[in-house]
Amino acid sequence: MLKLDGINKIFNEGTPDEKIALAEINLHLKPGDFVTIIGSNGAGKSTMMNMISGALTPDFGSVLIDGNNVTSLPEYKRSHFIGRVFQDPMAGTAPTMTIEENLALAYSRNKSRGLRIGVDKKRRQFFKESLEMLGLNLESRLSAKVGLLSGGERQALSLLMATFTKPSILLLDEHTAALDPSRAELITRITKHLVEKDNLTTLMVTHNMQQALDLGNRLIMMDKGQIILEVGEDRKHELTIPDLMAEFERIRGEKMNSDRALLG
């Protein structure tokens, strides 16, 4: 489904600020895999997400989706088959446009856009039904501007929009980190529901170890631009936070120094 093959990226190469962002990343996702990614700040998690989405291109190495090499495909072309939700609730929606117009934008993701009216009767009905699933009563506010929604509501809408067209890959980049605990809980629940409904192949970056353990069938830990730990389906369900901390210490020979990773 998704294959990262020897991805390398160095920022500011040849300057004193040179930083190895990713070093020899190899990752293979089977269809329906739900992989959670943890790691401290600067571990390369977001850089890896940007490599997959096409916002960044690797110095060398290749990205394959559904067996096609997409390494040199620009972001807007790759997003035909990649859905993405960002950490910032403001980032995934267009604030001055209405809920239904935002959904229409998401709906035409994998089609070519033409001079067809974006929100017609048939689509409005479909949008309504999809929104009902969120349980936030957004279906009765179809023509409200998205800028008026709360952060949680916007993030729920972003999630729905990202999964609307059943993308080959779903990228979740700390999408609950900017929300208060109860909203984060809600978004986590919606995430689970949407991913399971269409059996989406998903990559989720999180700072919250508990969330990383609760969701998905695989887990990877990153540090200093490398994948330092991979836990497969067989072992993931019995894993605990102390296990993860111990594992990190064993591999790196130092204590994990992120309070956020512990507390979420």
Partner 1 sequence: MFTAIFGSVEQGIIYAIMALGVYLTFRVLDFPDLTVDGSFVTGAATAATMILLGYHPILATLVAIVAGFIAGCMTGILHTKGKINPLLSGILMMIALYSLNLRIMGLTAENTIGRPNIPLLNSETLFSKFQTFWSNLGIDAALNNVLKSIGIQQVPSTWGTLIVVLLITILIKFIADWFLKTEVGLAIRATGDNKRMIRSFSANTDTLIILGLGLSNALVAFSGALIAQYSKFSDVSMGIGMIVIGLASVIIGEAIFGTKTIMRTTLAVIAGAIIYRIILALALRVDFLDSGDMKLITAIIVILALVLPQFVDKNKERKRKAKRAAERSHMKTVEQGGKGLA
Binding mask 105-134 for partner 1 (x = CB under 8 A): xx-xxx--xxxxxxx---------------
Residue 104 lies near partner 1 (rule: CB under 8 A): yes
CB 9 within 8 A of CB 22: yes
Which position among 16, 67, 96, 237 is part of the footprint of partner 1 (CB under 8 A)? 96
CB 107 within 8 A of CB 123: yes
Does 144 participate in binding partner 1 (rule CB under 8 A)? no
Nearest to 152 by CA among 169, 128, 133, 176: 176
Tell the residue number behind the tokens 């977001």, with chain if given: 46
Q: Contact between 19 and partner 1 (CB under 8 A)?
A: no
Residue 186, sorted as left (phi over 0), alpha (psi -120 to 50) or beta, turns out to be alpha
Name which of 116 and 260 has its Cβ closer to partner 1: 116
Nearer to partner 1, 44 or 83 (CB): 83
Do the Cβ atoms of 97 and 161 come closer than 8 Å?
A: no
Residue 196 contacts by C-beta under 8 Å, 6 or more apart in sequence? none
Site membership for partner 1, residue 77 (CB under 8 A): yes
Nearer to partner 1, 94 or 246 (CB): 94
Task: Verify binding: residue 79, partner 1, rule CB under 8 A.
Answer: yes
Binding site for partner 1 (CB under 8 A): 53, 74-80, 82-84, 86, 90-97, 101, 104-106, 108-110, 113-119, 161-162
